[in-house]
Amino acid sequence: MAHPDLKVSLPPGAAAAFAGGDERRAATLLARARDAQPPGSVAWAQLERLYGLVLIHVQREVEGTFALERADAVLDAAGAARPDLGWLVQATSLESREW
């Protein structure tokens, strides 16, 4: 399940991987999901932004900053929400719920 402002579902396991300390796996899953979206779309930009934030989190600041710049330009032009790492944390709690 995704944050209500997220225009695309997070890839399964990305939030859990991030919460579990496997940032490399989270980044890989986010990048794959991003690549499946039309380039320049809001869904693409939101996944690109989350990908960039994960890169910055693991101290790959240059790559992460470039990802944020690409994503934020699209999101701002569309008037869409800018996801943050809190969205991944929220998604983790929703993924782990037993219904």
Phi-psi domain of 79 (left: phi exceeds 0; alpha: psi -120 through 50; beta: other):
left
What residue ranges of the chain have pLDDT lower than 70?
1-7, 92-99
Torsion, Cα of 6, 59, 22, 75 (10° steps): 10
Rounded Cα–Cα distance for residues 20 and 15 (Å): 8
Residue 88: the pLDDT is: 82
> What does the pLDDT look like over 49-71, one tens digit per residue?
999 999 999 989 999 999 999 99
Amino acid residing at 22: D
